[in-house]
Amino acid sequence: MPKIVGRREKRHQPFWDVLIRGSVGNFTIAGGQAALQATNNLFTSATRGNIALTNMTGSGQFPSDQTFRVLALRVGLYFRGSVGTAGGIALTDHVMYHHAITQNFWDLQIEEKSYFQAFTHYMPLGGGLFGDVGSDTTVYFNNGEPSQEALCRLGRSISIPARQSFTVVNTIAALGAFNFINDIAGLTAGEAWIWFVLDGLQVRDIL
């Protein structure tokens, strides 16, 4: 279908990719890796048609002459039914949330240039489950409060020009004796999902 020459449409649309998603023994990890590494790159390999992993249609850039203006950044966390041991401690949902929040750092890079770096709780998800019922096995936490007001809105938007490659680099930095990489490897049961969201305005051709 041909595009309408000289006309473009602008829409507010978040785009996401996962660091890890699935259950023990069936995790999908960023970049198709078999296990989490100290450094992991997101938005580098699109899984077309699997919206649970990403809604990107291309690897590392937007297709055609599309551009994107980043207005907010979000990190989502979800753990459920965590069972296992690592570093001599039991891996409950509480422990997984705490270690994920304190050990994951994020860097938005466009054409290999860093545009924004922050730690996980600087970029709350702004939605989802929240709270707990007083036990380690029934936890409903997330990253921040489930409110659209609880977002990392940028003081100045970040532009991703047409045909420019970009990635979000995740760094896992151990805290004390505990390492989140070992936590994931030490799980014997449970579900995990960590994802990064670029939220903003997409400009694309009108077909």
Is 5 among the domain residues?
no
Model's pTM, two decimal places? Answer: 0.91
**Domain, as residue range, for 193:** 10-205
Is 3 among the domain residues?
no
Is 130 among the domain residues?
yes
The model's pLDDT over 105-155, given as tens digits with 9 standing for 90+, comes to: 999 999 999 999 999 999 999 888 888 777 766 777 888 888 888 888 999
Percent of the chain with pLDDT over 90: 71
Return the minimum-mean-pLDDT range out of 2-11, 153-162, 179-188.
Answer: 2-11
User: Into how many domains does the chain fold?
Assistant: 1
The tokens describing 184, both together, are: 């994931």
- Residue bearing tokens 């989140």: 180
DSSP class per residue in 161-180: -TT--EEEEEEE--BTTB-H
Rounded Cα gap, residues 151 and 156, in angstroms: 14
Q: Looking at residues 32-46, what average pLDDT do you find?
A: 92
Is 136 among the domain residues?
yes
The model's pLDDT over 61-101, given as tens digits with 9 standing for 90+, comes to: 888 889 999 999 999 999 999 999 999 999 999 999 999 99
Is 62 among the domain residues?
yes
**Sequence-distant contacts of 127-131: CB under 8 A, at least 24 apart:** 128/76, 128/78, 129/78
